[in-house]
Amino acid sequence: KTNKLETAFELAFLKNRISFTAAWYRNRSSNQLVGIPLPATTGFSSILSNLNATVENSGFEVETTIIPLKSENFQWNASFNISFPKNKLLSFPGLEGSTYANSYTIGESIYAVKLFDYQSIDPITGKYVFTDYNGDGKITTPDDAQAIKNLGSIFFGGFQNEISYKKLKLSFLLQFVKQEAYNYIRTMSTPGVIVNQPTEFLNVWSATNPSGIIMPYTPGTDATTNALTTNFKNSTAAVGDASYIRLKNIQLNYRLPLQSTFIREAILYAQGQNLLTWTNYFGLDPEMVTSGYLPPLKTLSLGFQLTF
């Protein structure tokens, strides 16, 4: 079941040299068809069933386009858009007794995750320290996995420009995203296992390096270290700022002068994708944070286009 509300308005000035569009939406969905997890003893991982939960997706979007300069030989078009998406679990009857009790929270986004609250490395023991929510002296799930982090986007958008001068045309797109996501720590290996690790994990804590982010390594047979590493991977330390600004695309075209009536148009172009990225993300790439996948590749290309 879906309940939709949408509203929008548009404005234009100076013979459409300045245009503005804004839109707000809210969709509420319930009785979704999802895979309900099953015990491994059944031989199946899940079964399809209707989920009696209500999820709300809402947001606000703005887009504006302007033509700052326009003459016989020169023209500059610019457009900007930004979106503020929101997601919230409104209701879930019986959530506390369901298989989703440790995954979702009423009033939070369905992209929110429950994690251990990482504090620091104890300067005396050299061990990771987490908040003991129930005060029993142990860090266990779900009792101590109470810190909530939202992995969804806060806002995203783009800035597009197209500048033309006689037979030359330059266009480029800047993409930006404000978000949090899992970082390198989420996929780190148990100490002592022979696998490749990011060089950032060489920053090991010690008395002479108190700013180190990794507790001292062991050969892999220390149960306490292994348990703390697992908690570390499932803590707030494994989530960080994944915001970025990226030069997503840039292209330069030159329209060749022609005398032929057979060929209508000939364009020589150079294009680049994902050339520059500005980010503080502690990971491989802030756009593709899923483990096991290559990030968007940086590419350069030259081409020639003919129109007959």
Provide the whole-model pTM: 0.87
Calculate mean pLDDT across residues 236-246: 96
What is the spatial distance between Cα 254 and Cα 270, in angstroms, rounded to a whole number?
Answer: 9
Q: Is the pLDDT of residue 91 over 80?
A: yes
Structure tokens at 300: 């350069």
| pLDDT digit string, tens, across residues 114-158 | 999 999 999 999 999 999 999 999 999 889 999 999 998 999 999
The CA distance from 116 to 183, in Å, is 15
Strands (E), 116-241: 118-121, 128-130, 147-150, 153-165, 168-182, 239-241
Q: What is the mean pLDDT of residues 58-82?
A: 94
In this structure, of 217-226, 227-236, 256-265, the range with the lowest mean pLDDT score is: 256-265
Whether the per-residue pLDDT at 37 is higher than 80: the answer is no
The span from the CA of 166 to the CA of 168, in Å, is: 6
Prior bond of 142 cis (ω within 30°): yes
Helix (H/G/I), strand (E/B), else coil: 12: strand
Q: What does pLDDT average to over the chain?
A: 90
